[in-house]
Structure 1
């Protein structure tokens, strides 16, 4: 980044974040604090009203606002593709806002940049592949969930799990305090404090039914940060699978939620998966037929053998 770009970026950072220390700016722009001091001096001499508070950092004088900046063709393309992504992955309301924002971006571009943006964008297309496609139910639930998060209201829903809990049940009714929505392996997931389990849990929207927003309020924890949150890892069982070389690429591209690593060998692709229970992979393994072999654990090999025998008897 050259000096001119960095000076503009510093002003935008102060406008966006408020007070920033020289050390913070130096780390963000990968330069020295001495350089930042010189940049602040240059901005001040150019008439930008920057206030320095000893021990706190730098900020812009209240009321100062940088006029809108122009976009390069590449920046415009990035924003417009981002709008396409929002349309595909978010609810109807945000999809409409994305369309509106894209129209505004295109409208303010100079004619030369608009032509170049159109040319570049014509070479890129965002398709909703299987791991990106959002179901109708998920899109319907995103809007009430994000409103419940902002209004700090609890929600209730029926939840279905792939595998039964310790009590043998796969279905339950959950009252939760919703903290945030994240996309995990292409699926929308709610991070919430569960009343039933008295713990912070993840709930996939595709497994929810009969969602309702309750009148009950909750207090958002002051020490919780969604961007820093890392769910506790409860997948402790390793499964090793060997796939025939002919389908190695298909297996890699299947985007299975549980896959952790691949190893290419002459006799095929070795896949390591991490699960809570081996049975979580049973249907996926069976779907590949004889082209896939479970190496371990033995319990999953037995289950695959049992299912194969049932299929033979059925046919």
Structure 2
């Protein structure tokens, strides 16, 4: 398994908010404990809001506090998207100002809890998918199918967008592969909203995806393992 794929797998396992022991994560991904520790450090440095440490376990947190403001995850997402877009601006003064503001925000966000706005590794091209977010959000609300190009052309039912401290993913039911997928937005090269709508069908709903993930989580939980 490539490292980027393994990191995405770890994010999927941690997304339920429960505490996961490093030994269980290592077994689920087929790597050593030392590799899991390095991966957790990498994800945290890349902006994924991970809480925990060696010997206790890890979980992904959602609440973000920026004194004296309490920010929701959606509000912090908006900050990240705006700053990332401005850092790509042709105006050098505007790009420099966005970088400066991002640095100041990183300086006051609580250590260990908040996504870092300047994190770039291991998903260095995360900003590339920002252009598709409005279409995807609109399609989720309107329950419209999308035609996406990633490693292939596929028709999907978008179910939910998730944000992981600069990395965006979208849970979809893929009509092309006939299965659920958790797509990285930065890997989408083309996105087109289709006129066809979709309705809830058993086995293709967000609740079905969550049930599937819960069952997969149960397969690697081993109570006798140490973190």
TM-score (norm 1): 0.32
Higher RCO (CA-CA < 8 Å; seq separation 6+): 2
The structure with the largest alpha-carbon Rg is 1
TM-score (norm 2): 0.43
